[in-house]
Structure 1
Amino acid sequence: MKTFWKVFIVSFFFFIFAILLGSYSYIKSSGQKFIISIGAGEYAKEEKAQEEKDIQVKTYASLSEAFKDDSRLNVILLGMEDIRTDTIIFATFDLNTKKLDAISIPRDTYIHRKGHDRGEDRKINAIFGEHGIDGVKKAVSHILEGVPIHHYIILDYEGVENIIDSIGGVEVVVPFHMKYEDPTANPPLSIDIKEGKQILDGKKALGFLRYRKGNDNKSGYIDGDLGRIKAQQQFLKSLADKVLSYRLPLVVKNALEYVETDIRLWEALSYSRKALGIKPEDITFSTLPGKAELKRIQGRILSYFIFEPEEVKRRLEDIYNVNKESSQNP
C-alpha cells in the first residue's frame, strides 16, 4: 500500500470549521441543540424564533432552476495521493435550513476525457494531475448534473493526527482487525487496530482511514473501496457529533497550516452567521449512485465505478427540493 493521504474526514472537518470560524462560545443544551452566547437570554430566544419563522423551504420545477436560484454553498473536498485525488467529497450546505449533504465520489469513477484513452486516465482520480483543481471541479459538476461548485478544500494527511488529537480522538466501531505493514511508504506505514468499539487517536484514525486491505490481499473490506467509504462515513458521523461540541475557532487554529482552500476569511465569517445551530442530525452522508464494473481498455481489464445518471439526478432533486413531476413533464 502506498502512502494514501486519507484527508476525507479532516477535509469535511475543516469545512465545518470554516463556516463556523466566526462563532464565539457554544452552549450544548438538551436534544443536542447549539446556540451562540450573545447576551440576554430573552433576546437570544427572540432572535432564534425569528430565524425559524423566516426559514422557507422553496421548491423548484427543475435542477437548472434550482442551481440558478438556490442559496446553497457547494464545496468539493479533496484528499491527495501524490498527483491523484484519492478521495473526493461533494458537500452542499443549505445556509437557511442548516442542512448539509455530503456525497462521496469513488476515486475509480469512470469518466472519459477526449484525448485520454489509457485505462488509468479514465478514472476521475487522474484528472488533477493534468488539469488541477479546475479540472476536478468541472468533472464533479459534470457528474452531478451541472451543479455549481463554489469552493474547494485540500488538506494534507499530516493534519489528520494533529486535528484528531486536538479534540481527544474519535469513537468508532472497527469492523475487523485492521493490520497492514509497508516499510517502503514515506513515512513508513504500520496499521494495527483491533476489532471493536473504541476511541481512535490521531495516528490510529489516520490508519483507519488509509486502510484498504491486508498484506495477504485477502483480508479487508468485502466490497472494496465502497466498504471503506462506508467506514469513513461512520467515522464522519461520530466526528461531527464531537466537533460540534467544541469551541471550534480554537481547533481551527491547529488545522490552518495543513489546509489549502479558496475560502477567504471574510467569506468564512459570513457563512458562520447562518451556520450557527447546525446539529449532527442535520448532516447526511451518501455515496454517488452506481456500481463497480470491469472494463477492457486497450487490452487491459480494469475496475471502474460506473455512476448512474438517473439515480444521480434523483438524489440531487431530493437535496434541492425539485418537484419531480414538474421536472419530468416540462
Structure 2
Amino acid sequence: MLKRQYDIQVVKSAGNLVGESPLWHPLERALYWVDTRRPSIQRLGADGAFREWAMPNRLGTIALRRGGGLVAGTKRGFVHFDPSDGSVTTIADPEAANPEHRLNDGKIDRRGRYWCVSTGSSEEDPGGSLFRLDPDLSCHRMDTGYILGNGLAFSPDDRTMIVGDTNAGLLYAYDFDLDAGQVSNRRPFFSSVEMPWQTDGGTFDSEGFYWCALIFDGAIGRFDPTGRLDRLLRLPVSTPTMCSFGGDDLDILYVTSGSIFLSEEQRAREPEAGSIFAIRNHGVRGVPESWFGQGDASGPSERGK
C-alpha cells in the first residue's frame, strides 16, 4: 500500500450531525454540502462567507443543475433547490408508496441524468432501489435490493458505476452504458464485512481509482479498478461520511463528517467531529462534476448561469 504525506485542514467547524455530499461549484468557487439529520444545505464561499438553508425534509445528496440552483435527493423524492430564495420544488417522488424510504446518495452522469440510490425501511430491509431521473423529469427504477444505498460514483471512462450498501458491507460495480443510460452485471467490488469500518460516500479520481469514506475508522480509502485497497488517508475524526474533489484544479479532497454517531466521551476526544475537512498534497486530481439537465453535462451553456 502506497504511503504518501498529505495535509489536512478544517475548513469549517460546522458541527453537523451527519454532514454529507460535499459539492464543489466551479462557477461560484464555493463548496456546498448537507446535514442530513438537521436537514439543511450549507455553503462556504471562497471568501469564507457561510450560508445555511433549512430544508423541509431529510436529504442525502445534492448536485449541480443547469439553469441555476441545485437538485437534491430527499425523503420526499427529487427536488429543485433555489438558493436565491431558499425555495424547494418537488420534481418526482419515486418512493411515494414507501414513506419510510429515502433517497440517500447520488451523482449526475455525463448525459445530465441524476442517479440516486435509496434506503430500505429499516437497518435490515433490502427494499432500497437505484433510480435514474432524466432531464425530461421522467424517473426510472433501475435496480433494487439495497438496505442503505451509498457511495454512488461513475468512473472517468463512463464504463463503470460503483454503488455501495453500507449496512450490507458491500461495494458493487455495474457495467455502465452512458449512451443508453443503462446498468448491468452488478457484482461485488469490495467487502467490508470483516473490516473495522463501513464504506460511506465516494467519488472517482482522474486516474480511475475510487475513493470513499471509511466511517467508524477515521479514514478515506482509495481503491484501484479491481477493488484492491490502494491507500488510506487518516483523519482526526472517526466518522468521515463522504469525500469529493474540488478547488480550481480539482486537487483538494473535501470530506464531510458526523457527530451523531459518537458518545459524549468520544465527542470530547474528537472536538472537530461534524466538521468539513480539506486534504491537500495527496498527489491526484478529481474529475469535474456533471450538471443535471439537457445539453453538455460538463457545465451550463452560458458561463455564470
TM-score by length of 1: 0.23
Structure number with bigger Rg: 1
Task: Name whichever structure is richer in strand by fraction.
Answer: 2
> Going by fraction, where is helix more abundant, 1 or 2?
1
